[in-house]
Amino acid sequence: MPVSGQIIVLVGLMGSGKSRIGKELAKLLKLPFVDADREIERAAAYTVSEIFERFGEKEFRRGEKEVMLRLLSGGAKILASGGGAFIQPEIKALIKQKAISVWLKASLDTLVKRTSHTGHRPLLQVGNPAERLQQLMEDRYPIYAEADITVVTDRQTPQDMARLIKIELDRLKQDKEIDS
Ligand code: S3P
């Protein structure tokens, strides 16, 4: 993990607040904010839903990897990743090497509430989205737990979450300085 760690990647499930909190954190740290899903859409000239529909999840994951590798080789930024990005081993390895990762850990209740009013998430277009989210939690939480920092997000505002993450980032930096 780089000590100055100028690329900060937010990881976590759909509805954990990666984009909303990411924007606040970017303001607080005076860094540009980049949303990986929007970059994938821009590169493909299709929405995420259209990519899934027309080309399938495998092709989406291929595009996601390409875009994440590009963003991770660029300059300082707050990067909101798509929920599946950290799950791809190659992306996770590069995040570990080039960035500081922050897992926004949320309860099932929170995730269900925050995703229930939006129809743009292909993985949740199923009969029982709560069950799907529960399954994704079981599959993915052990992997998200490998992030450098974990913060629990449930009822706090994005501004409060951004302040909390800044405190954790400063603490991590201090620990690194003590180690070296
Ligand atoms: C996905 C999460 C989505 C998007 C795609 C797949 C996932 O991003 O990348 O629908 O696998 O969890 P958000 O987490 O920003 O909703």
49 C-beta closer than 6 A to ligand 1: no
Specify the higher pLDDT residue, 4 or 56: 56
Ligand 1 binding pocket includes 105 (Cβ within 6 Å): no
Average pLDDT value for residue range 138-166: 97
Element (H, E) at 131: helix 129-144
pLDDT of residue 123: 96
Distances (CA, A) of 109 to 54, 55, 118, 129, 130: 31, 31, 16, 12, 8
- CB neighbours of 76 closer than 8 A, spacing ≥ 6? 6, 7, 31, 32
Residue nearest to atom 3 of ligand 1 (CA): 82
**Diameter over CA atoms, the chain:** 52
pLDDT-based confidence at residue 2 (cuts at 50, 70, 90) = very low
Per-residue model confidence (pLDDT) at position 5:
52
Ligand 1 centroid – CA 122 distance (Å): 8
Q: Residues 18-54: pLDDT tens digits?
A: 999 999 999 999 999 999 999 999 999 999 999 999 9
63 lines ligand 1 (CB under 6 A): no
∠ CA 73-74-75 to the nearest 5 degrees? 130
Does 123 sit in the ligand 1 pocket, CB within 6 Å?
yes
Ligand 1 proximity of 17 Cβ (cutoff 6 Å): no
Compute how many other C-beta atoms are within 10 angstroms of the C-beta atom of residue 57.
13
- Amino acid 16: pLDDT: 97
Q: How far is the CA of 87 from the centre of ligand 1 (A)?
A: 11
Give pLDDT, residue 33: 98
Residue 71 reports pLDDT greater than 70:
yes
Rounded to whole angstroms, how far apart are CA atoms 93 and 176?
20
Q: Ligand 1 atom closest to Cα of 57?
A: 6
Give the model's pLDDT for residue 91.
Answer: 98
Pick the residue whose CA is nearest to atom 1 on ligand 1: 83
Residue 122 Cβ inside 6 Å of ligand 1? The answer reads yes
pTM over 0.75: yes
